[in-house]
Amino acid sequence: MNQSLDRFILGIPRLFLKQYPYAWFPAIALWTWPPNLSLAFLAVIAIGLLSIHWQISAWISHMRREHAGKDGKFHVDRPAVPWGRAVRNIAILLAGGGLIASLLKGQFGLSFWQLFLIFVTFTLTYQDVRFFGFPTIYVITASGIAVYFGTGHLDYRLFFTFKEISRIERTRFQKGKNWDFFGRTPEAGADGLLLIPKNIDGFSKRIEKLFIAPQDIDKFVEQLPYGYK
């Protein structure tokens, strides 16, 4: 991907891009045939969705350029969407949307289906992490570990050099230990890796120790340099 385009999309705050779900309200409420006005708002939604995915791809490209080059080590691990949880939560959302639409039917001059679609589509895109988990990517290069972690409206783009990592331990996540969990589905007891810094004060003022949960932990560990396996 073009480097200048990468810088452009990476310079846009995720908070700004995540405002696109609000376009569902006018897109559905103002629906007529032909849907000329609604199409404009649907275009905003499409641009918002594509921009968020573009931003993640741009971050990966940027990490490769900065820390791997063309032939350098670059192992990418992308934890999968927890589809079981997603299907269950979406089913609850559909049921809740039907109930709310039934109660508000005729209000605001909107039909049952308009209210239902507004509630479901807005919730699904604005609160997407509740259904699909937090967007997470881990990258191992020859010099360190990069982490991308999206919390919905904010994202963390981190790079830890091996020089600042004391050791990496495989363990299960425990709450109350000043561990930050950057993973697709942060849950107590999750299997993963704990990054422990050499600095006794932590990696930063915000992060003391970092817990990550790669999709394939064994393969991820195999990619680590000698001394961290």
The pLDDT confidence band at residue 201, using thresholds 50, 70 and 90, is confident
pLDDT at 170: 95
33's CB contacts (< 8 A; 6+ apart) are none
Q: Where are the domains of the chain?
A: 3-72+80-132, 136-222
pLDDT at 229: 63
Per-residue pLDDT at 55 exceeds 60: yes
Per-residue pLDDT at 1 exceeds 80: no
Q: What are the helix (H) ranges across the chain?
A: 3-10, 14-17, 24-29, 36-67, 83-104, 112-126, 129-132, 217-222
pLDDT at 228: 74
Share of the chain above pLDDT 90, in %: 77
